[in-house]
Amino acid sequence: MTEDIPAIRLRALAKSFGSVQAVDHVDLDIAAGEFFSMLGPSGSGKTTVLRLIAGFEQPTSGAIELFGRDVSASAPFDREVNTVFQDYALFPHMTVLENVAYGLRVRGVGRAERHERARAMLDTVQLGGYGDRKPNQLSGGQRQRVALARAIAVQPKVLLLDEPLGALDLKLREQMQVELKQLQRELGITFIFVTHDQEEALTLSDRVAVFNQGRIEQLGTPAELYERPVSTFVAGFVGTSNVFDDAASSQLLGRAGTHSVRPEKMTIADEATRLDADHVAHGAIVETIYLGSGMRVVVDLDGGVRVSVLEQNDADRAHDDVRGSRVVVGWSDRHVVALHHAAQPH
Ligand code: ADP
Ligand code: MG
């Protein structure tokens, strides 16, 4: 395996269901060993792409290559990928150990060896000693780990994960995120992770593809997506942004077009303060929202544009956080990002 051959290559991959174009001519290379995420709102085509890669769906047109081999027409079992589903899909009548050993059994691995390997997998996901239980005797987080152990037991080259943490509560989710990342690093398997949670995608991934209506709207590292969104869709979906339309851009930036500025790149101070910033605008506080680590201050600028400013939580604020207080907001020109107005037609 050379480094140049991607683990996954999608070529003009398309899938329609009747009149619905679920996947709209996607081109994508995913490198071996990458933690890659597909991020997008519900219905944007993420699951369909995953099912096409796994072989559960046939493409309407286009091709899928796994490590340089065209698998577009191959059966699911003939592809070196495995899938972890959101609902775990564990076999309720089997023990945890039997669940994890299942894929090995199907592949004809003998009983002693498959149980030994399944036990090792359970250790890997920190469930050693749980092998004799049934899935219904486990918590949600433990079940998710069993599903993960079952998927990696057969040593797939690529692991497809479809919103695997979606059913877990926040605390457990955050814990599992860390474990997933560690596991991926340890095993060196290519992970293709589907989520609608932008924070999850940003924290876990080497690269992220942002999906919108069956197409990749932007592909990049988490930092690239966050710092340089290309469209209003990405600017709004990945984090929060102040988006200035043409009129607001002319008024506040002195130039036409659509632009965005992140709330944490703006500074705010009492109206009397002279802010040393490329762009300065005056206004009045509409709302302040306490976030613990900081404060979100919503300001109506005098020209009629509403902005959201994120302040660090430090005690000596230079202004009152009172509704109606007059303030000045400033930001630097290098934090202004030019956006395409909408998805680019293809
Ligand atoms: P996501 O995973 O991003 O939420 P999906 O890939 O599940 O999106 O769906 C993309 C689009 O394709 C949606 O409009 C969905 O309703 C449609 N779709 C998905 N699977 C089917 C199917 N089996 N039959 C008909 N339409 C489908
Ligand atoms: Mg889905």
Token digits for 68?
Answer: 């340089």
CB 245 within 8 A of CB 291: no
Q: What would you report as the CA-atom Rg of the chain, rounded to the nearest whole angstrom?
A: 24
Q: Which atom of ligand 1 is nearest to the CA of 47?
A: 2
| Strands of the chain, DSSP E | 8-17, 20-30, 35-39, 61-66, 69-70, 81-84, 158-162, 190-195, 207-212, 215-220, 242-244, 258-261, 267-270, 279-290, 294-301, 306-312, 326-331, 337-339
Nearest ligand, measured from the Cα of 87: 2
Looking at residue 121, its amino acid is: M
Tens digits of residue pLDDT in 161-175: 999 888 788 888 888
Supply φ then ψ for residue 309, to 5 degrees.
Answer: -120, 130
Mean pLDDT of the chain: 91
Tens digits of residue pLDDT in 31-87: 999 999 999 999 999 999 999 999 999 999 999 999 999 999 999 989 999 998 877
* Atom 27, ligand 1: residue with shortest CA distance: 17
Q: Which atom of ligand 1 is nearest to the CA of 194?
A: 2
CB of 212 closer than 6 A to ligand 1?
no
The Å distance, Cα 155 to ligand 2 centre, comes to 24
79: left (phi over 0), alpha (psi -120 to 50) or beta: beta
CB of 45 closer than 6 A to ligand 1?
yes
Tens digits of residue pLDDT in 113-158: 999 999 999 998 889 999 999 999 998 889 988 999 999 998 899 9
Nearest ligand, measured from the Cα of 163: 2
Ligand 1 binding pocket mutation candidate from 17, 19, 83 (most atoms within 8 A of CB): 17
CB of 46 closer than 6 A to ligand 1?
yes
Flag whether the pTM goes above 0.85.
yes
